[in-house]
Amino acid sequence: MDVVALVDELTVTAGAPFADRLAAVPSLPRRTGADVVAHPEAGTLRLAYETPAMPEADARRLVVHLPADDATAAALDRLSGRRPGALRAVNG
């Protein structure tokens, strides 16, 4: 029996107590998505992010943010003084 079928069966058999416990189980953070940031000068920025797999990275992880839309890309260009479409370097 595969895991999905087992979970479905337990959800039907045990009902709400099982479903509630299953919903409370913590999960890993999403590897991709988008964040909305309210910047004091540029306004609302939509940043897409990706967390690439890093073998043997222990507890460390790398998160890469890129503009999620053209308006955000233009706002970031204005903030950094770069011409539109230029590469961005981030110092950490």
pTM to 2 decimal places? 0.55
Q: Which residue in the block uniquely carries the two structure tokens 């595969």?
A: 2
Q: Which helix H or strand E contains 70, and what residues bound it?
A: helix 70-80
CA distance 31 to 2: 25
Q: Which residue in the block uniquely carries the two structure tokens 């950490």?
A: 92
- Residue pLDDT, tens place only, 50-72: 988 777 767 777 888 999 999 99
- Residue pLDDT, tens place only, 2-52: 877 887 888 888 888 888 887 887 766 678 899 999 999 999 999 999 988
